[in-house]
């Protein structure tokens, strides 16, 4: 300190550095071990967290949150006497008292994996899974992840669980449902190999609404086919535009198993292709295997006829159902889409790495392409390359985008490749 009222440059720098490090976060530490609880609180204070609460049990944690209100992050042990971490998170989620979770546990890897799945089912955002002892750098990365992604700071609303069918019917009539497209790429060359067509509800007040919110209502209103065939029309328009530029872009559409019972499915697809002057070879239909357990003769006939037209058939979310191998043997799939959950866990779990490696080997043995979903980081990308995966999609490459945005994106990539 210089003369009264003055601050030296060094002191000012330290003050500014400290201010910049402050994190506007409310964090709860749930840990029954006194020493480890103290370490966690101290670590969070060093990172500049705005408010830190500490509890030795789930019961105490709930009492604190009911008094002080919701927290942004719960740094949570799982195995404790009295109320354990899982029961606490279940109750806290129901009461809307926790927005996101960092697991801090020394339990076995497979047990923690199951716990992570449970946390997602509770509607909470899982920021990460850290073992013990805590490492300050790892915690800092996860807290930054929370602050950098606005969606993680929004408490899930019960109203978003499912949209009102009447509202969805009106939205369909007003053409508020819009087709988005997410690229698939060759992981070795970076070449775009196709896109997956997705539907988003462009709500006039709520913005872009996820299919998880409105698809149940679409099905209950018997509007599934209307939405599906409108999406194919949009996809064929994109394909025709890209074809004019000298490239063929495969378009993948999500086909619900219930639609395979429609005896007019194949003829309607043929009619759309004929209208655009395109062939079935440029289309992939993705189906989740869970809905194909009791495939009827009509379902099987439709799948065979689609293959006869040249269309590709992809078994989606592979590995999360109970009959994947049986479906591969019985139905004419020629592509496997590996569920993103396995990709996201590559860094943390040996079992997931084994599943990915085994699926790639299975695909090669069966002559089927394997596409890895949910690639979000360079580390995941590198590990997939090392395992021999050559096809993938995810936010690392591109997010779903509108038709115009996709065409602009493809054109910009083509321009860059020409200069190289």
Q: Which residues are catalytic?
A: 373
Q: Which structure tokens are listed for 42?
A: 């101290």
Cβ(243)–Cβ(274) below 8 Å: no
Provide long-range contacts, Cβ within 8 A and 24+ apart, for 142-149.
142/102, 143/23, 143/25, 143/47, 143/49, 143/73, 146/25, 146/72, 146/73, 146/100, 147/23, 147/24, 147/25
DSSP track, 125-186:
EEEEEE-SS--HHHHHHHHHHHHH-GGGGSPPPGGGSS--HHHHHHHHHTT-EEEEEEEEEE
126 bridge partner residues:
101
- For CA atoms 325, 300, 285, 170, the dihedral sign is negative
Burial state string for 367-406 with b = 16 or more CB within 10 A and e = fewer than 16 = ebbbbbbbbeeeebbebbeebebbbbbbebbbebbebeeb
DSSP track, 298-325:
HHHHHHHHHHHTT-EEEEEEETSSS-HH
Single out the residue of 339, 342, 293 nearest to residue 314, CA to CA: 339
Helix axes of 109-121 and 85-95: crossing angle, nearest 10 degrees: 10
């Amino acid at each position: 300190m210089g003369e009264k009222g003055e601050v030296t440059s060094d002191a000012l720098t330290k003050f500014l550095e400290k201010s910049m490090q402050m994190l506007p976060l409310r964090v709860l530490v749930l840990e029954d071990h006194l020493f480890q609880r103290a370490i966690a609180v101290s670590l969070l204070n060093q990172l500049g967290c705005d408010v830190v609460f500490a509890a030795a049990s789930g019961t105490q944690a709930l009492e604190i949150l009911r008094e002080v209100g919701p927290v942004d992050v719960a740094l949570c042990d799982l195995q404790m006497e009295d109320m354990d971490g899982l029961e606490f998170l279940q109750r806290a989620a129901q009461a809307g008292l926790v927005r996101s979770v960092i697991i801090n546990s020394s339990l076995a890897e497979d047990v923690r994996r199951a716990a992570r799945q449970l946390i997602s089912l509770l509607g909470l955002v899982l920021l990460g899974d850290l073992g013990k002892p805590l490492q300050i750098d790892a915690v800092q990365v996860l807290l930054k992840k929370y602050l950098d992604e606005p969606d993680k700071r929004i408490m899930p609303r019960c109203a978003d669980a499912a949209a009102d069918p009447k509202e969805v019917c009106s939205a369909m009539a007003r053409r508020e449902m819009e087709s988005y497209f997410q690229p698939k790429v060759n992981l070795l060359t970076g070449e775009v190999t196709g896109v997956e067509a997705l539907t988003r509800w462009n709500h006039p007040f709520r913005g872009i609404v996820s299919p998880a919110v409105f698809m149940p209502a679409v099905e209950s209103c018997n509007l599934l086919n209307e939405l599906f065939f409108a999406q194919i029309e949009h996809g064929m328009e994109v394909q025709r535009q890209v074809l004019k530029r000298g490239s063929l872009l495969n378009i993948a559409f999500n086909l619900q198993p219930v639609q395979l019972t429609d005896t007019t499915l194949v003829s309607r697809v043929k009619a759309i292709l004929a209208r655009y002057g395109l062939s079935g070879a440029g289309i992939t239909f993705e189906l989740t295997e869970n809905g194909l357990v009791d495939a009827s003769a009509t379902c099987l006939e439709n799948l065979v006829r689609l293959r006869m037209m040249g269309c590709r058939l992809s078994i989606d979310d592979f590995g999360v159902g109970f009959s994947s191998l049986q479906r591969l043997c019985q139905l004419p799939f020629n592509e496997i889409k590996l569920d993103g959950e396995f990709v996201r866990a590559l860094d943390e779990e040996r079992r997931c790495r084994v599943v990915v490696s085994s699926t790639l080997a299975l695909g090669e043995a069966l002559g089927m392409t394997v596409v890895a979903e949910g690639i979000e980081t360079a580390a995941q990308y590198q590990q997939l390359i090392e395992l021999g995966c050559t096809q993938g999609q995810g936010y690392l490459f591109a997010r779903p985008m509108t038709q115009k945005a996709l065409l602009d994106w493809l054109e910009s990539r083509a321009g860059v490749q020409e200069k190289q």
